[in-house]
C-alpha cells in the first residue's frame, strides 16, 4: 500500500497551544499549496522514497485543558504575526475538524482521579481516535507547557508522564518535544523497556540551542578553549508565562547546558537566564556571549543574537518527527531512536554536534527507504 493511501494520526498533548495550532494550520496550508514547506526537513530530497506518510494523510487530534477552539486560536496567532494574514480563514475547515478531535486533558484542580484512572482515560481517547478515523497508527507528540522537575519522593506521576504512559498503553509511538519528564519517570522504566514501540525525545531544539550545537563543535575543532558561555532569553506568550516558574526554567536550561557540556567536554562558566516579557507575545530574542582564548592566550569574544518565533520554528519539526516515528513503527523499529537526535536538546543517545546528527538522520532515512 502506498504512503498516501494510509491515514496516520498525530495526537498533540497541548493541542490548542501555539506549536500544535501552527503545525496543524501549517500542514493544511502546505497541502493546499498556499505556502512552501519551509523548515520541513522531511520534505527535502534526501527523504524522498523513505515511505513517510504524506502530509495530506495526517489526521490531527489531541488533549488540552483549555477550551479555546483551534480556529479562534489560529486567529490570535495571525494577529500576532505568527501565522500569515488570512490563513486561519483559508484552513478553517481543517482546523475545525481537528478541534472536534480534541479531548479534555488533566488533571485539573479538584480532579480526584488516580494516576491509573487518568492513564486509562487518556489511552481510551487515543484508541477511540484511531478507531473513528480508521487510522493505521497514531503518534503522540507532547508540545504542552514545560513542567517543573518532580520533587524527590513524589508519589504521583508528573502530568507529562501520565500522557506518555497512556500513549504506550494505546500502542502509540511517543515524542517528547518538551523538557518535561515524559517517559523518563523512574516508575515507567519497565513499561518503556517492554513496550515494543519507537519513541524519541526530549526537548525540541529550535533556536538558541540549535545555534549552540553548531558553534560549540567549531571551537573544539579549531582548538579554541571556551572560558565562559552565557545566555539570555526574552520571550512572552504561553512559554514565557510557563518558564517564569523557576522549576520549569531549570528544566528548560538543563538541556541548553547539556549541549555545551557534551560537546566541549565540560560545562563552561556562565548561565542562561529566561525572562518573561508578555509584550513579545509568541516572539523571542536569545542572546549569547561566548568568551574564548585564541593563539598565545589572546582573549576574544563572540556574541550572537537570535530573534524568531518558537512556534514557527517548532511546528515543522514536530511534523517531521511524527512522520519519521510513524514510519519507524510501520517497519517494526522499537525503543529509543537516537537517529532523531537532530531534533532534540536531550536526545536518546547519539552525537551532540548538529552536523553529525544530520548525517545520522540521513542514514536513518536511507534505512527507512530500504524497508518494505
The answer to whether 7 and 330 are in contact (CB under 8 A) is no
* Model confidence, pTM: 0.91
pLDDT digits (tens, 9 = 90+) for 243-299: 666 766 666 667 677 888 889 999 899 988 888 898 888 888 999 999 999 999 999
How many other β-carbons are positioned within 10 Å of the β-carbon of residue 2? 8
Alpha carbons within 13 A on the beta-carbon side of 217: 12
Written as nine digits, the cell of 220 is 573544539
pLDDT digits (tens, 9 = 90+) for 13-26: 999 999 999 999 99
User: What's the angle, vertex CA 18, arms to CA 325 and CA 258, rounded to 5?
Assistant: 60
pLDDT digits (tens, 9 = 90+) for 304-330: 999 999 899 999 999 999 999 999 999
Cα 136 → chain centroid: 22
Report the percentage of the chain scoring pLDDT > 90: 76
Say if residue 155's pLDDT is above 60. Answer: yes
Report the percentage of the chain scoring pLDDT > 70: 94
Query: How far from 158 is each of 55, 88, 186, 240, 337, CA to CA, in Å?
Result: 32, 34, 11, 21, 23
Residue 107: asked if its preceding bond is cis (omega within 30°), the reply is yes
Q: Give the bridge partners for 201, in sequence order.
A: 176
Amino acid at each position: 500500500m502506498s504512503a498516501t493511501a494510509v491515514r496516520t494520526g498525530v495526537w498533540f498533548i497541548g493541542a490548542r497551544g501555539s506549536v500544535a495550532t501552527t503545525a496543524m494550520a501549517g500542514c493544511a496550508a502546505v497541502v493546499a499549496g498556499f505556502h512552501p514547506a519551509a523548515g520541513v526537513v522531511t520534505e527535502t530530497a534526501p527523504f524522498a522514497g523513505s515511505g513517510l506518510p504524506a502530509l495530506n494523510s495526517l489526521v490531527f487530534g489531541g488533549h488540552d485543558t483549555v477550551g479555546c477552539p483551534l480556529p479562534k486560536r489560529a486567529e490570535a496567532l495571525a494577529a500576532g504575526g505568527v501565522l500569515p494574514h488570512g490563513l486561519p480563514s483559508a484552513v478553517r475547515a481543517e482546523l475545525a475538524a481537528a478541534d472536534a478531535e480534541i479531548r479534555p486533558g488533566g488533571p485539573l484542580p479538584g480532579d480526584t482521579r488516580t494516576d491509573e484512572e487518568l492513564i486509562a482515560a487518556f489511552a481510551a481517547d487515543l484508541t477511540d481516535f484511531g478507531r473513528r478515523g480508521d487510522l493505521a497508527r497514531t503518534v503522540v507528540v507532547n508540545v504542552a507547557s514545560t513542567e517543573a522537575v518532580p520533587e524527590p519522593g513524589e508519589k504521583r506521576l508528573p502530568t507529562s508522564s501520565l500522557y506518555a504512559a497512556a500513549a504506550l498503553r494505546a500502542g502509540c509511538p511517543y515524542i517528547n518535544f518538551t523538557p518535561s519528564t515524559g517517559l523518563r519517570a523512574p516508575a515507567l522504566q519497565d513499561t518503556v523497556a517492554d513496550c515494543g514501540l519507537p519513541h524519541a525525545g526530549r526537548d525540541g531544539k529550535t533556536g538558541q540551542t540549535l545555534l549552540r550545537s553548531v558553534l560549540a563543535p567549531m571551537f573544539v575543532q579549531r582548538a579554541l578553549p571556551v572560558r565562559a558561555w552565557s545566555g539570555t532569553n526574552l520571550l512572552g506568550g504561553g512559554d514565557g508565562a510557563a518558564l517564569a516558574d523557576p522549576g520549569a526554567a531549570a528544566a528548560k536550561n538543563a538541556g541548553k547546558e547539556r549541549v555545551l557540556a557534551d560537546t566541549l567536554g565540560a560545562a563552561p562558566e556562565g548561565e542562561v537566564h529566561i525572562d518573561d516579557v508578555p509584550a513579545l507575545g509568541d516572539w523571542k530574542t536569545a542572546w549569547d556571549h561566548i568568551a574564548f582564548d585564541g593563539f598565545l592566550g589572546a582573549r576574544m569574544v563572540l556574541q550572537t543574537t537570535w530573534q524568531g518565533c518558537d512556534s514557527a520554528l517548532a511546528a515543522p519539526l514536530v511534523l517531521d518527527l511524527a512522520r519519521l516515528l510513524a514510519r519507524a513503527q510501520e517497519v517494526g523499529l522499537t525503543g529509543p531512536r537516537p537517529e532523531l537526535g537532530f531534533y532534540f536538546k536531550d536526545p536518546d543517545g547519539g552525537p551532540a554536534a548538529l552536523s553529525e546528527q544530520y548525517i545520522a538522520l540521513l542514514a536513518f532515512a536511507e534505512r527507512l527507504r530500504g524497508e518494505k
